Structure 1
């Protein structure tokens, strides 16, 4: 799945329950991507960064009879995915190392590829694994200019965390839509790219912190000893409260932008 840099072993441990706290909101862009896929014959499909598998199971419902693989690097996520009976072939591996034994009709990835570097090489590699006439369907967060991510980056550059967090955070992987079009067009019949802005309505005392604690905050906390991690989180909490104040009725609005890519190989 998403494989951000971690501590000495280089691996961040994901928390499936925390990640799914806002499951419906996290799932919606993936369902929108799935609904954008045209009616095509799919004999084989893979969900890169499948997480707990809720979208992988929707691939099974959409493409009856197809061989479906759910691939993720995190054992806790895969364990939760495999706990639900299905005919999905769950596989543990890093997306960057994935190489299919034969071309795949549908390469699907929801909110995972932004963790990987060098998207020029990555996307060319992925379309090279697709069968002729097959599809590459990708959704990624593109919210890195939002206060949630700018504040996080700013805090990593402050003392006493700066030295420990040097290189821990990289928000530069996701490219502009035109860049992806230029990367993919020489290898694909068609390339369709669009953005979606989701006005997410969150509940709770610190809902934006809860949201990012399951994703964007992970590689930062993994680089800090417990005391510094707690202090960093508290500073981030206070900054997020100012950036995302509660509405009069108690909800917190958390706008979130995402990029969608649908290419026919």
Structure 2
């Protein structure tokens, strides 16, 4: 093997690399640098296989529906039940039958960097995405459970294509479309996980925008949850127009 370590690295970590004979020859290379590259490559391949296995495990509900002749499946999830301020946001996502987005999972289990990357990839691959936003005052009027259901319904109706089957995270929604409710669905279904990520990043961005208008509560960092900075902001400045007035401890400042 006469290639430099840099040349080997470039070829080995090319996403299209599949030359088994070349890889076998690399294993005969005695250079320490090559051995380290092989170790890194094998770890990368193992991680990719784990992600693929996870993706396949999280496709079982979709595959069962496809086997029954369903063409379009929407996964639906919501975020923002717990915050003291801001809306509850739901997303509905229809992925292609042959899509393969590795790394999909409950958005709470993902780093910000990973969520942002998946947010873009989901948008690039999805057949349709719907968003439902129910603001703070409607949450106060309806209660958070009913507001979450409403956000999911709005997201479903916002889809450019009407799905034939709906997978919903831990709830049922008001629709005539056949649906299946899955406890912890965002960790069990790729469609719901995709919806979880879209809803989370979308809502986080809304709260960052709100931070510029109401800068005393740390909305850009806490998304409206009751962190120390947020609670101190309430004590010092009182409530702002997007606070949920029926939520403790906000209601003591109303």
TM-score of the aligned structures, taking structure 2 as reference length? 0.27
Structure possessing the higher radius of gyration over alpha carbons: 2
Q: Whose strand fraction is larger, Structure 1's or Structure 2's? A: 1
TM score, norm. by length of structure 1:
0.26
More helix by share: 2
